[in-house]
Amino acid sequence: LGNQFQAYDHVLNDFPLAISEAEDDELDALKTSAPETWMQRKIDSWQRIFEVDWQGETYSLARGDEATLQGVLWQLPLSCARRTRRMLELGRTIGAEAVEVDYPADGLSVGEDVEMTAVWIFSQATLPPLHLRLHVVAVADGGAAATAGVGKGWTVTCLLSPVEDEEPLPSLPLQRGVSTGVRNFVRPKRAPPAAAQLLATLRQLRGVQLVFQAPEEEPDSDDELYDETQEIPESSGSESDS
């Protein structure tokens, strides 16, 4: 079942999917004056995500030839799955060129193919707020990464491994945060594992795939280097999931 990918955010965030500013204003007024009518109008508006050939105003929907579409299946029989893998997000993929590089169990380890540096990066725009920035500083000639086109300055965005295997980086926990009220930043509750420790484990891995991303043309200015020496006290603030 095809639908507009960006428009689907309205459903996920429980927002009406208005197709014009006038309708948006009308729905805002109904939310207070006639909440039951607003609720039904909101639910009805979600059907618009299926307008894959939309040719009207580009307020919340993209025109058919410019829309990013996704397909949803009612069910996928296990017999149709060719393989399953666990995905561990390390960085972020923001539409830049990316390639997947295999490191077979009987082949080179990650560290023999590429040399990397690792630091923790904090960004208020991501969840978890911390992500591991793995920068490629050198690529071995003739290796899998070099063959795939990976070069100096590329980063690793995620690690893929067979689901039946153990966690490839077991010391990398989910980093949840608490609001500090300072510039709306979210800080981790506890200090994360040392980046150097995780990098040492990563260099020894085989039987995994790494997804490398080319450098961004416009790096995210909200990113900042996280100081691993910080002692993060417990906070009475509420956990943030956004």
Pairing of strands 155-162, 85-89: antiparallel
168-191 as b/e, with b when 16 or more CB fall inside 10 Å? bbeebeebbbbeeeeeebbbbeee
Higher per-residue confidence, 76 vs 29: 29
Nearest in space to 201 (alpha carbons), one of 226, 224, 169: 169
Per-residue pLDDT, 186 = 60
Q: Which amino acid is at 98?
A: A
Summarised one tens digit per residue, pLDDT across range 52-89 is: 999 988 898 988 888 888 888 888 888 888 888 888 88
Summarised one tens digit per residue, pLDDT across range 134-193 is: 999 999 998 899 999 999 999 998 899 988 777 888 777 666 666 555 555 566 666 788
